Structure 1
Amino acid sequence: MEEENTLPQGEQKSVNKHDFYFETPLYELLEYSDLEDSENLLRGDVDAYSARNDTDTTYSIKFSWITKLDTKYVNSYTEYFAGFGFVTLSCKRKSNDVLRFFVYNDEINKRIIKVGQFPSIADLQFEELGKKYEKVLPREDLKNLKKAIGLVSHGAGAGSFVYLRRIFENLILETFKENRAAVGMKENDFKLQRMEDKVESLKGSLPSQLLEMKSIYGILSKGVHELSEEECLRYFAPLKLSIELILDQKIEEAKKRERDVLVKKQLQDIHQELSEGGKDKTS
């Protein structure tokens, strides 16, 4: 039976403010029902990384209409519009960081599309990715991750998916090599498995969230020519999240090793001080 090319309903994720401004590609149509909080998408605040100032920050959101193409009057107090609008995200810490977005907002049919933004998604994410993952992701894979984000930000689903799939496969193979003894399987046998089976084989060495998402990995066994641009774009976000989960775990493991080394050294220093103190008393 042919595998279904759809994301399981249980794994559908509502789009929050951060997702919309910093992850969602241009021209991706979103129904209000896809949004976590449609009423506050274009107002309030959103937390994010400031590439300009190299720090986490909070942006204030301001929306204004540019052109209203349609109007629906509900009553004397309520009216809905459809048209183009301008959104600014202003950093609340430093005034030098302002992000700009153009949207088509249809309050009547309850849908919204990003039609332009500056800086681009790729520009917003590159600095954060490099800073966060350069120590745990090989240079070539980091370069490919940036390429993937650059492509998806322009709606190039198939091209971006190729790079992302390559990175994910490399990380899974690397995880196997690091845990070969625990897995109890030869490398050639591991490579012959389907991706969802590889993830299952490594369940003791991967973030638990990956196991909950394993039903998406069947798509990785298919050739890109078998997938539409829309399908590649739909699978991009969960696959990117899978990569980030693995990398975040590697970062935490590295921090733990550093703490272990530090504690060990401190204990050795204490032991040495006690030993030297004992010698002084007996001399």
Structure 2
Amino acid sequence: MENQSVSEFILLGFSISRQGELLLAFLFLALYVATLVGNMTILYIVSVDKRLHIPMYFFLGNLSMLDIFFTSAISPQLLWNLFSEDRSISFAGCITQCYFYFFLGTVEFLLLTSMSYDRYAAVCKPLQYHAIMNSQVCIQMVLGCWVGGFLFVLFPTIMTSRLSYCKSNIINHFFCDSGPLLVLSCSDTRFIELMDFVLSSLVIICSLVVTLISYMYIISAVMHISTTLGRAKAFNTCATHLTIIAISCSISIFIYVTPSQKETLDIHKMPAVLTTIVCPFLNPVIFTLKNDMVKQALTDVLR
């Protein structure tokens, strides 16, 4: 993976003092370590506790593994840049980071959509649930998420890697995002921008629409449950998933579902921190606090 116009990029990062950078570095390091520990803990309890060997927790385990990969695509390079003041990243490293960021992010949206269908089947079709969401179907859905993410992102990344970068090699971001990369190119990037916009819109909007339709049916079914305790339990199970997808969709729509990202690069850094560092940390926390079975399994493991 080489480019004739540039051999490395400089990540501009955050426009703050050196003391501020070190403070951010220690904060991000703590969040990264907590993210790894939290998601690995969920992976462990889902794998060892037989009570959690059902589709909902199979998807949760995959989400935890995905969060580990996703934050690891950005955090190590960011921490190195902040601690060492070496802002450089090779061209191959930059394109690889860009690819895995969008690849894993796309897989996460598809996986969250699959989880909404699982919740729909559990609440609206309880008698047929185990037949609908058998192990083969769950594995096929997860594989479909990974293959779909791989194919969605591959072609735009290849096109981005073949552009000519002659304006500058300084990326106005803390990682290799597509928008800041396209700004540096002296090639015609309109087709790539349009393709990024269409693919981002397709993944994010379709995920949101499918999830909302699923939860319309879920809410309708829950309201017909006769007991207050039953309704509360059903809503509690679904609230976790809704919280995560609402946060992910709102941030991603703000950043990527716009016709052009070039004019708003500076204001994208803080939402990008939320998606790359904060959300992978919050996901296991939210699931642990909101899910009674996960809390019970975690208590048993700690004992």
Q: Is the TM value for this pair above 0.5? A: no
Determine which structure has more spread, i.e. the larger CA radius of gyration. 1
Q: TM-score range by the shorter chain?
A: under 0.3
Higher relative contact order (CA 8 A, sep 6+): 2
Give 1 or 2: higher helix fraction: 2
* Normalised TM-score (structure 1): 0.26
